[in-house]
Amino acid sequence: MIILPIIKENIAKNCHPIGLQKTVQRQIDFIETAQTINGPKKVLVIGASSGYGLASRIALSFGGGADTIGISFEKGPSEKGVGTAGWYNNIHFKQAAERKGLIAKNFIGDAFSDTMREQVIDFVRAEFGGKIDMIVYSLAAGVRTAPDGVKYCSTLGVKGDEFSGQSFNLETQSLCTQTLSPVSDQQLQDTVKVMGGEDWKLWIDTLTQADVLAEGFKTVAYSYIGPESTYPLYKDGSLGAAKEHLHATADQLNTQLTRINGEAYVAVCKALVTKASAYIPVFPLYITLLYQVMKEKRLHETCIEQMHRLMFTRLYPALGPVVADASRLIRIDDWELRSDVQTAVEAYRKQITAENFKEIGDFAGYLEEFNALNGFGFDDVDYQAKVSLEELLQMEC
């Protein structure tokens, strides 16, 4: 079959398995030329198949020689279709890591489930040396079934009055207005249940009880705060409520982990093109303006560059303790939130029209990164060549 990109509004409907090998390898190539990370050697990444989770796994393995376990909820190829991008990211990462002599175990399934926790514990004891010295928590999910069997759904929405803003439709490549509706108290609570810190704490509690966390263990989860202009749609909305819970959970866990000299942090990242951010209404246009400004100022970072800076300069610096602010947040959104950057972003925003939005913002850069997430846009991939479903079915995740 020939696989070409299919985009519906701002969502990719397919992926290219060969192109995704290029996506993963490009990140590996960057890390292998960057400064070595003196970090953990036995790492569990919860939410490992794309975005910051995948970039963390690549940074720690190829930048620091870490063996890794990755958990993700992905779908492989079948007669119905090629499967999800994360399925192939997992495969390509595993193949590259094993060529380096590293352990790269992929678990495919529900990271929220007790069953998954039990499987990971069994693997750590039997085949991973018995201890984990770092957990990266990078789940982005819309639905969570809690251990008590109750199913919770997250809602993207605002508190109070509805919020409207400009964005664009990737499918038609046109400017549009998007609106976020107010969320109810129940929707807010459910979003916190899905995207807050409860499951992160369950993982740490369970692995602590199983005695598989090493002395000096660290864990990090990822968050976003953003500039004041994005507060209504993120920080002050349902997503922000979930992230506040995540931040509070980090403090709880940090206290809890003192008996093994462990630490728990939240890293606040910059706005980037990821599978998760593409879903957020209004947000894509801000990202194009931010990209334009940060590239002009030579401050732009991709996921892999952010994760290298996080690991090398903040979580595992060569000298001294973890670098965090007074609220114990690791701020690698510092360049995004520089006053000169945000002033320039707002100046560009005021110039936006339906005719010029592609030129004012870095629409081309956004589209390039979006396509790469799904294995498209690489000059050295023949997208007119047929891909064999039989060969895809033989690839082991």
pLDDT at 390 over 90: no
What is the domain-level CATH number for residue 324? 3.40.50.720
In a domain, 1, yes or no: no
Give every CB contact of residue 29 below 8 A, 6+ residues apart in sequence. none
pLDDT for the residue numbered 277: 86
pLDDT tens digit sequence for 120-131: 999 999 999 999
Is residue 264 part of an annotated ligand binding site?
no
DSSP code, position 234: T
Residue 274, marked binder: yes
Q: Which domain holds residue 231?
A: 7-394
The string of pLDDT tens digits covering residues 133-180 is 999 999 988 999 998 899 999 999 998 888 888 899 999 999 999 888
Q: Has 50 been labeled as part of a binding site?
A: yes
For residue 328, give the amino acid letter: R
Query: Reduced to 3 states, what is the DSSP secondary structure of residue 20?
Result: helix
Does 275 have pLDDT greater than 90?
A: no
- Mean pLDDT (whole number) for 365-389: 95
Q: Does any domain span residue 335?
A: yes
pLDDT value at 1 more than 90 = no
Give yes or no for residue 281 having a pLDDT over 90: no
Percent of the chain with pLDDT over 90: 85
Q: How many domains does the chain have?
A: 1
Q: Is residue 303 part of a domain?
A: yes
pLDDT category at 232 given cuts 50, 70, 90 is confident
Evaluate if residue 278 carries a pLDDT over 90. no
Q: Does some domain include residue 191?
A: yes
| Total H helices, total E strands in the chain | 13, 13
Q: Is the pLDDT of residue 280 over 90?
A: no
For 41-63, the pLDDT digits (tens) are 999 999 999 999 999 999 999 99
Residue 222 marked ligand-binding: no
290 occurs within a structural domain = yes
Q: Which of 152, 234, 265, 366 is catalytic?
A: 234
Whole-model pTM? Answer: 0.96
Q: Give the pLDDT mean for 237-260.
A: 96
pLDDT over threshold 90, residue 67 = yes
The answer to whether 236 is a known ligand-binding residue is no
Distances in whole angstroms, Cα of residue 27 to Cα of each of 20, 143, 233, 331: 11, 29, 30, 22
Res 233 pLDDT > 90:
no
Q: Is residue 2 part of a domain?
A: no
Give the type of residue at 168. F
Q: Is 143 annotated as a binding residue?
A: no
The full DSSP string for 253-274 is HHHHGGGGT-EEEEEEPPP---
Alpha-carbon gap, residue 158 to 240, rounded angstroms: 9
234: annotated active-site residue = yes
Which has the closest alpha carbon to 30: 312, 304, 341, 372? 304
Q: How far is CA 121 from the centre of its chain?
A: 23
Rounded distance, CA 274 to CA 55, Å? Answer: 11
Please check the confidence at residue 9 and state whether its pLDDT lies above 90.
no
Quick one: pLDDT band at residue 234, thresholds 50, 70, 90?
confident
Cβ proximity of 361 and 288 under 8 Å: yes
Q: What is the pLDDT of residue 180?
A: 87
> Which amino acid type is present at position 137?
Y
Decide: residue 345, CB within 10 A, 0-12 exposed, 13-18 middle, 19+ buried.
buried
**Residue 297, annotated as binding a ligand:** no
Residue 377 in domain: yes
